[in-house]
Structure 1
Amino acid sequence: MKNIYKKAAFLLALGLTFASCENYLDDVPKGSKSPTTLADYEAFLRDEYTNHRVNIIGASLLLNDQYATLATLSSDRLTNANYMWDENADRIALKVSDETTFYASYQGISTFNLLIESVLNSTKATEEEKRVVWAEAKVLRAMNYFNLVNFYADTYVASTAATKLSVPLITSANINAPSKQVTIQELYDFILNDVKEALPYLPKVSQTALHPNLGTGYAFYSRVYLQMNNYTEALKYADLALAENNKLYDWVGYYNTNKAIIDVPNSYTATTSPMGFNYVENYNYRHGITNNLSTENSIPVERAQRFETGDARFISRWKIYTVGAETYYRRTLSGFFNLGGITTVEIYLIKAECLARAGQISDALGVLNTVRKTRILPASYQDISTTDQATALRAIYRTKNNELVNTLIPFADARRLNAEGVYKVSFTKTANGNTYTLSSDSHLWTMPFPQGATQNPGNGTITQNVDK
């Protein structure tokens, strides 16, 4: 694929020679280094910007989880199509340039393929140490494929997964590696098998926040099984993940510590994001839309209204702001944001949904309220209490969408629920006197491949999964 060629050129520029590459790469340029030791290979897992980018901006715009300015909507037709839910827009034609979501994901996959292929033959390490890095690369590769299939293909439905196409599957770092656009079922089977093979070798404690540990493996398994509507397995692995890490961050405490800054009217002085590498909720850390030390996305007024009253996490992150004709909630945190990895709060809420699906409503709400107590200010807090399954599930979904805003998960969940047909997700808004709607069965829920991929598919072919 095109990105593999890009990556090969980049690596050549660094003078790196990989065991899986062609013979013409065998001669290492003078002054350059060929990776041979385990430390050489493991360093790729620490390449944060290149191999841990999880850009899902199209999904975030579709959900209106981030604010798009009037200037952006006027100048960027693709952003306008997603943000304003334009059913008539030809998004395929509008994707005339490379898309980070696609290329960064496959760039990471190329690196992880290299490690999986080569690290077991590395030097200066025990077999056990080499197998750990091999397993970590397996999990990260599986995570990238999960993101891709839940962005560019239809959501998983057991009755159709074996007949619908997903994304190209590449398992080699060789720049001439063949690719096959496999079915959704084949890709999910591949993802599950990667994690299954990795689990026995994942360490309980990570080398860094970028390295998946055993808790990450269990948590990701839970995420995948939930997306497949397998609530029994999702609950099983949620419990295993929470046995490894069940910490929740005290956002009420964060607000109380910083309220002298947060509560100043019309002041947008930033406080420091706690959601970085040392966030207690992390299983593993990966960048999302925000790639560097900076502030996160602002959000629309309509989106802000879906947070609970007294949500300290919301109050600490955004504040209403008006400039000219535009009003939105401006970001007020500065720092790092784990929007691409996995955190404990997601797993708590997966567990809550699985319990509710099994009819264990009281237990499900106990899990949900455990999360909410660390988020909702005491003056506004009340336990959610109901015996109705639908009411409980909607409360769980509301909290989960708010907790994981600007990650892929609300998008993936909405697609899953729309396919199920019971708890459908749709949106309506008014702008400039017009009403806009994103229906639950809209084709906009599946993103088209960028033209660069379909026109330059490398050693394979790519068929679009949407008509426009």
Structure 2
Amino acid sequence: MKNIYIKAFCILTLGLTFASCNDYLDDAPKGSKIPTTLADYEAFLRDEYSNQSVDAAQALNLMNDKFIDIATLAAERLTKANYMWDETADRIDLKQSDERMYYGQYQGISTFNLIIENALTTTEATEDQKRIIWAEAKILRAMSYYNLVNFYADTYDASTAKTKLSVPLITSADVNAPSKQVTIQELYDFILNDVKEALPYLPKVSQTALHPNLGAGYAFNSRVYLQMSNYTEALKYANLALTENNRLYDWNAYYVANKTVIDLPNSYTNTPSPMGYDYVENYTYRHGASTSLSTEFSLPVERAQRFEAGDVRFKSRWKIRTVGVETYYRRTLSGMFNYGGITTVEIYLIKAECLARAGQISDALTSLNAVRKTRIQPSSYQDIVTTDRTVALNAIFKTKNNELILTLIPFADARRLNAEGVYKVSFSKVDNGTTYNLSSTSHLWTMPFPQGAVKNPGNGTITQNVAK
């Protein structure tokens, strides 16, 4: 793996190198500031573009959750392999360039390691203030490892988690720190322990949207336990998270307020995104895969058709457009989008799934319908009512996939459901008269490590988790 460095501390220019961050801190260049106060370290949490973004682009491609035009498919062979579900493609060979998911998450981890190592010994702060920053860095580090393990390793399965490898585990900010590619079980244990240690010190109110609060800690724990199919613990922490924040944004009100612009035929004038830093559903905020942070991705027609009739959240964000031979749903919002953090709607739907699996169908649908009422036009809305667990769960999965589209979560959920083997996820599409399929057992559900990481693993080793 390429050595991950913190640019404010370790400089590699004009042949000047430092063996480690610690060495550099002992001898800072003239004009540079050696971090000593808690505020110095806390500032790194605010570096949202480097440390707090989640680029799950290839997962979105595999899910066909974003529109890829003909020119891009011709130019980007890895994108085409995932988007067209080409099981014959050697994705390892195609992944010759660096990948933002891998290096971006490890850059954040290096920053969070630095804070965890130093926050408790900083100056100009109380012990309580130090513990808060330390705990926030623990949550953010755990979130980054969750993203990595659910992208580059097979999904969690209790029967194989102790033997299958995950990703390199690094707990030091030193650029020469040793790393070990631990098992999936070991990494999940590490993630859960980080959360356990952080929870007692997380504040109830965030300093900014980038700083995880107590609700974010509970919500993330619920997400992790759900991925482990531990529905009892996932429900427990979902309830705790909703006690901290249970607000849902009223997309019906947004649509009414912007209806004149949204419904204007053949107009793609952008309306403001409400899903930014102050979105009422935020537990914690992180950017997503788009390199243009002020816009979101457009959708394929086939994907757009899976939204529920009367969904004004969908209608407010995308509008059908034809350019040449290509028809797609063009994005129409501008602003910021919380694609890498955690929101209340995810936790409502985790709660709904856990309740349904426990046989509490009525309560599960209460949680599901609470979300739908804020999304579906009153003229189209009807409560989903059923006593059948499978019907209820499929409705929950559909809503969750639509609500969390363009995030890593639908990909992670599909992998979890495929491993379970009951509610398996597969896709089929027809393109230019040819039928393409993605089976629930395809090796494409696990992404290969970038070649640079395998060929240059730093102070450790990396074994590919897929054959191609």
TM-score relative to the length of structure 2: 0.97
Instruction: Note the alpha carbon deviations across 1:33-80, whole angstroms, 9 max, x for none.
Output: 000000000000011111101000010000000000000001110000
Change (3 A) 1:203 1:18: farther
1:330: which partner in 2?
Answer: 330
Deviation at residue 27 of structure 1 after TM alignment: 1.1
Residue 123, structure 1, aligned to residue 126, structure 2? no
Q: Deviations over 1:235-294 (max 9, x none)?
A: 000000000000000001100100100001111001000000000000000001135542
Alpha-carbon separation, structure 2, partners of 1:142 and 1:93: 30
Q: Which residue of 1 aligns with 2:132?
A: 132
Alignment check: 8 A CA contact 2:299 2:329 kept:
yes
Aligned length: 465
Following TM superposition, by how much is the alpha carbon of 1:7 offset from its aligned partner in structure 2, in angstroms?
A: 3.9
Decide whether the 8 Å contact of 1:57 with 1:289 is kept in 2: yes
Shift, 1:374, TM fit? 0.1
Does residue 1:166 correspond to 2:129, yes or no?
no
Contact 1:3 1:107 in 2 (8 A): no
- The CA deviation at 1:28 is 1.3
Task: Give how far 1:26 is off.
Answer: 1.6
- Looking at structure 2, the residues matched to 113 and 19 of structure 1 have their Cα atoms a distance apart, in angstroms, of 17
Query: What is the rounded CA distance, in whole Å, between the counterparts of 1:219 and 1:54 in structure 2?
Result: 17
Alpha-carbon separation, structure 2, partners of 1:429 and 1:244? 42
What is the CA-CA distance between 1:19 and the residue it aligns to? 13
Give 2:284's aligned residue. 284
Which whole-Å CA distance do the structure 2 matches of 1:456 and 1:136 have between them? 30
**For residues 77 and 293 of structure 1, do their structure 2 counterparts lie closer, same or farther at Cα, with a shift above 3 Å needed?**
closer
How far apart are the structure 2 equivalents of 1:85 and 1:33?
50
Secondary structure in 1 matching 2:28? coil
Instruction: Report the AA paired with residue 227 of structure 2.
Output: Q
Q: Supply the distance in 1 between the matched residues of 2:437 and 2:315 (Cα, whole angstroms).
A: 28
Identify if the C-alpha distance between structure 1 residues 449 and 107 changes in structure 2 by more than 3 Å, giving closer, same or farther.
same
C-alpha distance in structure 2 between counterparts of 1:215 and 1:277, whole Å: 16
* Residue aligning to 1:296: 296
Task: Tell me, yes or no, if the aligned pair for 1:20 and 1:117 is still in contact at 8 Å.
Answer: no
Partner of 1:410: 410
* Counterpart position of 2:11: 12
User: Does the aligned pair in 2 maintain the 1:231–1:354 contact within 8 Å?
Assistant: yes
**Residue equivalent to 1:55:** 55
**2:210 & 2:3 partners in 1: Cα distance?**
23
Q: Which amino acid aligns with 2:383?
A: D
Name the SS for the 2:21 alignment partner.
coil
AA aligned opposite 2:202: L
Alpha-carbon distance in 2 for matches of 1:185, 1:380: 45
The answer for the alignment partner of 1:440 in structure 2 is: 440
What is the SS of the residue equivalent to 1:247? coil
Deviation of the 1:376 alpha carbon: 0.2
Match of 2:108 in 1: 108
Alignment CA distance shift 1:233-1:466 (3 Å): same
What amino acid does structure 2 have at the position aligned with 1:324? Answer: G
Quick check: 1:292–1:336 contact (8 Å CA) kept in 2? no
Distance 2:23 2:382 in 1: 66
User: How far does residue 21 in structure 1 lie from its aligned partner after superposition?
Assistant: 2.7
**Contact 2:11–2:18 under 8 Å retained in 1:** no
Q: Map residues 118-267 of structure 1 onto 2, 5 A cutoff.
A: 118-267=118-267
Q: Distance in 2 between matches of 1:291 and 1:188?
A: 29
Show CA shifts across 1:309-364 (max 9, x none). 00000000000000001000000000000000000000000000000000000110
Cα distance, 1:11–1:291 mapped onto 2, change above 3 Å: farther
Q: Does the alignment pair 1:379 with 2:385?
A: no
Does the 8 Å CA contact 2:216/2:284 hold for their aligned counterparts? yes
Please tell me whether the aligned partners of residues 19 and 175 of structure 2 are also in contact (alpha carbons under 8 angstroms): no
Distance 1:28 1:300, change over 3 A: same
Structure 1 pair 46/160, CA: closer, same or farther in 2 (3 Å)?
same
CA offsets, 1:170-211, max 9 Å, x none? Answer: 000001000000000000000000000000000000000000
Q: Give the match's secondary structure for 1:98.
A: coil
The answer on whether the counterparts of 2:287 and 2:293 sit within 8 Å (CA) in structure 1 is no
Does the aligned pair in 2 maintain the 1:138–1:194 contact within 8 Å? yes
Cα pair 2:10 2:21 within 8 Å, conserved: no
Which residue type is aligned with residue 220 of structure 2?
A: F
Gaps of 5+ in 2: none
TM, length-normalised to structure 1: 0.97
> In structure 1, what is the Cα distance between the partners aligned to 2:355 and 2:406?
26
Question: 8 Å contact 1:8–1:175 — kept in the other structure?
Answer: no
Give 5+ residue unaligned stretches, structure 1. none
Tell me: CA distance 1:92–1:410, structure 2 relative to 1, closer, same or farther (3 Å). Answer: same
Q: Which residue of 2 aligns with 1:422?
A: 422
CA–CA distance in 1 between the matches of 2:79 and 2:177?
33
Superposed CA offset, 1:66-122 (max 9, x none): 000000001110000000000000000000010000000000000000000011110
Indicate whether 1:459 and 2:459 are aligned: yes
Alpha carbons of structure 1 residues 91 and 67: separation in structure 2 relative to 1, 3 Å: same
How far the C-alpha of 1:440 sits from its partner, in A, is 0.3
SS of corresponding position for 1:112:
helix
Aligned partners of 2:330, 2:212: CA distance in 1, in Å?
33
1:33 equivalent in structure 2: 33
Residue 66 (str. 1) matches residue 60 (str. 2):
no
Tell me which residue corresponds to 1:358: 358
Displacement, 1:30? Answer: 1.2
Which of 26-35 and 100-109 deviates more?
26-35
Matched AA of 2:280:
V
| AA of the residue aligned to 2:229 | N
- Contact in 1 for aligned 2:12/2:18 (Cα 8 Å): no
CA displacement 1:441-468 (0-9 Å, x = unmatched): 0000000000010000000000000000
Q: CA deviation at 1:23?
A: 3.1
CA distance in 2, matches of 1:442, 1:72: 24
* Cα deviation 1:210-245 (Å, max 9, x = unaligned): 000000000000000000000000000000000000
Aligned-residue offset at 1:25: 4.9
